[in-house]
Amino acid sequence: MKKLYSALMTAFNEDGSVNEAGIREMVRYNIDVNKVDGLYVGGSTGENFNMSHDQKVQVFKTAIDEAGDAIDLIAQVGSLDLNESKELAKLVTDLGYPKISAVTPFYYNYTFEQIKNYYNEIVKDVDNKLVIYSIPVLTGVSLSIDQFAELFENPKIIGIKYTNADFFLLERVRNRFPDKLILSGFDEMLLPALALNVDGAIGSTYNLNAKRAKAEMVAFDEGDIDKARELQKVSNDAISALIANDIYPSLKLVFEEMGVHAGVTKAPMSKPTPEMIAGAKKIYNDYFKD
């Protein structure tokens, strides 16, 4: 069975400080109710790039303290500051995270040799396994199949969080590297990713939508493509509604409707408006209410 990971959100207080109690609630809900296979901690959904170093450390410590070894944990340690990435890689390894991940370095149009050095440096001094976080739509960095091959020459680099709509490249990567871990990162494209034999998926909406996504995986494995297609349609309807309502704060607002105190997003992301709150209530009633 393919694995499903929720991309863990970070609960913030109104003043922008980390709300540890909220993080613990979200971790517990994902373990006890969603029954996901793992959590991706410190990624885009976790608002990692809006956080200070100390806040990142706080989130990593809180998440694993609550989760323990109940599920798989992947810590996203990528940063434009390579020294910070290396420091976080050591920290999370010492905390017990069994895998780390790192976004491709962005903004400065790095050469591939610089990107390769970044990944090799992150894993050089830690006894851990790294999953490349490839998300070209946000980083502007697209890696080719041959560049992935060069990165995979390092035995500590074990796979890809593939958040990319290029399904031709995904098919090529899957077939060239059958033993590498490939996890789909676009929730709205889960079904075509399953068709290309990914090992699982990581996504933000799985915090709310894990049961439907897991049912889709089961339907696909059982050959019931019509059912899988219908489940993907409903998921995509929900995703469209979340995007229209401002997805990051809306994920947290819907979580609140589900009884999970997810806090607020951190500025410069939006704070909830009355219209946004009303929209989130409708999304909850339309797609997630039992």
Cα separation, 190 vs 188, in Å, equals 6
User: What residue numbers does the annotated binding site for pyruvate cover?
Assistant: 45, 202
Which of the following is catalytic: 5, 97, 133, 284?
Answer: 133
Cα–Cα distance list, 180 to 89, 99, 100, 171 (Å): 21, 14, 15, 13
Has this prediction a pTM greater than 0.85?
yes
φ/ψ region of 35 (left if φ > 0, alpha if ψ in -120 to 50, else beta) reads left
pLDDT in tens, the chain (290 residues): 799 999 999 999 999 999 999 999 999 999 999 999 999 999 999 999 999 999 999 999 999 999 999 999 999 999 999 999 999 999 999 999 999 999 999 999 999 999 999 999 999 999 999 999 999 999 999 999 999 999 999 999 999 999 999 999 999 999 999 999 999 999 999 999 999 999 999 999 999 999 999 999 999 999 999 999 999 999 999 999 999 999 999 999 999 999 999 999 999 999 999 999 999 999 999 999 98
Q: Please name the residues in contact with 72: beta carbons below 8 A apart, sequence gap of 6 or more.
A: 3, 5, 37, 38, 39, 98, 99
Examine the residue annotation and report whether 133 is marked as an active-site residue of this protein. yes
Per the listing, tokens 């489940």 go with 231
Which of the following is catalytic: 2, 56, 116, 161?
Answer: 161
Domain regions of the chain by residue span:
3-223
Strand-pairing partners, residue 73, are 39
Examine the residue annotation and report whether 161 is marked as an active-site residue of this protein. yes
CATH 3.20.20.70 fits 3-223, yes or no: yes
Cα separation, 290 vs 36, in Å, equals 18
Q: What is the largest CA-CA distance in the chain?
A: 52
